[in-house]
Amino acid sequence: MTNQPKNKWSEKTTLIGHKLRLEPLDIVHLNDLEKNLLSPTTWHFVHWGLKTRDDLEQGIKNSHVERENLNGNAFCMIVNSTNEAIGMSRLMTFDKKYNHLEVGGTWIGDKYQRTYVNTEAKYLMLKYVFENLGCNRVSFKADSLNFKSQNAILRLGAKFEGELRNYCVLPDGRIRDYKIYSIISNEWPNLKKTLEWTQTKYV
């Protein structure tokens, strides 16, 4: 599917699942996200210094710029039964020549970690990326110290590829190493079945 129009990668779309839906991230989600994400125990709060409503608002504004520039597509995770916004994730690091991108920037409230939320959200995003955008590969990066994130990525069925050492410096001065994982298009059909079966435990 190399003839897929590349502006579609940043197109606003809503992905609907059993218990969760992903909407384009917008300022209307700010109040819920402030309530659910700004906890002193969340990774972004501790390591990225994202601690205030203003930080969240700026992140939402940055996501709008990414979409306008056709190099990002951010989603907000919404619980279908309550319409509450409880997390976010994005499509990013687009390589439109070779049809691959990264899923990252995931931030889920403490209450919803290790529940159905990450699995269903990533399922919806992977289904969209492989079946609607026709990507050849999806990659994930995880901080070398963020073991929750690493385990969550492995539970999706992604393969570990290696480590990027001294990749960046965090606001607190720590030099960050990244672990890299991927899923490729010919793996998706079997992983899709596994993820759909996994979701039946939560329905």
Answer yes or no: is pLDDT of 7 > 90: no
Rounded to an integer, the average pLDDT of 164-193 is 94
127 pLDDT more than 80: yes
pLDDT at 6 over 70: no
Q: What is the pLDDT of residue 58?
A: 94
| Rounded Cα–Cα distance for residues 155 and 70 (Å) | 30
pLDDT at 172: 81
Distance of CA 195 to the CA centre of its chain: 16
| pTM of the complete model | 0.92
In sequence order, what are the residues at sequence separation of 6 or more whose Cβ sits closer than 8 angstroms to the Cβ of residue 94?
Answer: 6, 9, 70, 71, 72, 101
Q: Where are the domains of the chain?
A: 8-199
> Quick one: pLDDT at residue 50?
83
Q: Are 177 and 164 within 8 A, CB to CB? A: yes
Distance set, CA 98 to CA 3, 4, 84 (Å): 11, 12, 36
What is the predicted pLDDT for the residue at 203?
Answer: 52
Q: For residue 202, name the pLDDT band (cuts at 50, 70, 90).
A: low
Q: Please state which of the ranges 47-56, 126-135, 144-153 shows the lowest mean pLDDT.
A: 47-56
Place of tokens 């989603």: 75
Answer for the pair 65, 74: CB distance below 8 angstroms, yes or no: no
Position 182 pLDDT exceeds 80: yes
For residues 140-150, give the mean pLDDT: 94
Which region among 34-43, 103-112, 121-130, 145-154 has the lowest average model confidence (pLDDT)? 34-43
- pLDDT of res. 3: 52
Average per-residue pLDDT for the chain: 92
- The stretch 4-33 carries a mean pLDDT of 92
What integer is the mean pLDDT of 125-151?
A: 96
CA dist., res. 135 & res. 128, Å (int)? 9
Report angle CA 179, 182, 188 to the nearest 5 degrees: 155
pLDDT band at 187 (very low <50, low <70, confident <90, very high): very high
CATH of domain 8-199: 3.40.630.30
